[in-house]
Structure 1
Amino acid sequence: MTTLGASPTRMPSPGDRAAIGFFMASGVGIVVWAITAAVIRISAALSDSSISVLAEFAGTPAQAPIGPNGALVEVELDRAVLSTTELPTASLVSLVISDVLAATTITLVVACLLALSTAVLRGAIFSRRNTILVSTAGIAVLIGAASTLFFANMAANGAFAAISNGEFDNVVIAVDLLPYAIGAFVVALITTAFSVGERLQRETDGLV
């Protein structure tokens, strides 16, 4: 006869627990690295006389010493680090915001995954809380990456303007939507999988 009750907790194996523990330790290390790197970049931008900004180009010719005996060969520049001694205030603020957003996004995503890993260690894989954690991490990646790129582009535009006195107009401002579309699909797929797993878990918990 079928009765209602709680299903037994499914604890991970010792090998799985060791792998999850390594994953969690790596996550903490990533957060420390992201925050440290952001602080270093922001400090350098606010204090150094030379500010470095990553910029993208589109069909811009350049010369690189890749020929015989280091001869210069014309290449098409895709991206480069620009160094300038001055940056418009709005661009400098955008540079700081992009670094803060990058570190914040990484911290939020890792925090969600650490909470998810903790739940798995306790034997709880599919639950409403875990579904929310997975969806939050996925959405944070998409929004954080897009926002970081937006403010980084604003900083790069300011560097171009400062270096060329506003005469260089080959700045890439378009955003490739394909990676974000694929990312959104993956996030939706994983969230759906956890939602289905959560429903099946509830149905299984009702059967003893």
Structure 2
Amino acid sequence: MTLHGEWTSKKGPSRAENRDAGGLLQNNQMTLAVVVDASERGPHGAMFGRLWIKNLFIRATDFVEPNATALVQAMEHAHAMLRSAYPSEVAAYSALLLRHDLGTGWALGCGDCRVGKADSADSIDWLTPVHTVANMTGAPFTAEHAGMPERHTLTRSLKAKRFVSPDVTVVDLSSNQQWVLSTDGYWIEHLMTGTPRDELSDDASCLYLTATADHSCADTDCDNWQLISN
């Protein structure tokens, strides 16, 4: 089954640049979708996120047996290629790897980007946990956590010092084939708190995967989308 991606991404008015990035890689074996949200801490966050996805996709095209273990290893390799050039950058990310031939897949998350299964635009079952100080005890992330200043501090992230493995959740492909990958600016500030998109302060990005569209498309204010299909 071929899934098409609809990428939407907008810089927050309080931000100097849009530091979100997204990508979709598809071949005969798999669908791999990735979203990255680089923090304001380092000077080159936008480039860091885009290059990490690029390096990850280069590695992923050589997968002999696409699975969560191979993907995490590829993530670590992509991280190693960038750590010396971008020592100050920090990012959150989420990824979705689907094996349509096996009827299974894996949702991966590190930080406050998320993967969800969508019944509609207003009904999303978020599959990956959130790693912030606000819910550091492991509790499910709620609207109460969204209002805490501590939710902006990540307890797990992609950074130069060392590679931290993401949480991995096995997903079932037997029913719904609509998926969402989102940065916190979109799923927290827009969807959870109800802030209109044109009033969001943070960068807000969302990658929607569906089998009903006839092609992939991007609506973004910068060059932060990568699409590889073969």
Q: Which TM-score applies when normalising by structure 1?
A: 0.23
- TM (norm. structure 2) is 0.21
Bigger-Rg structure (1/2): 1
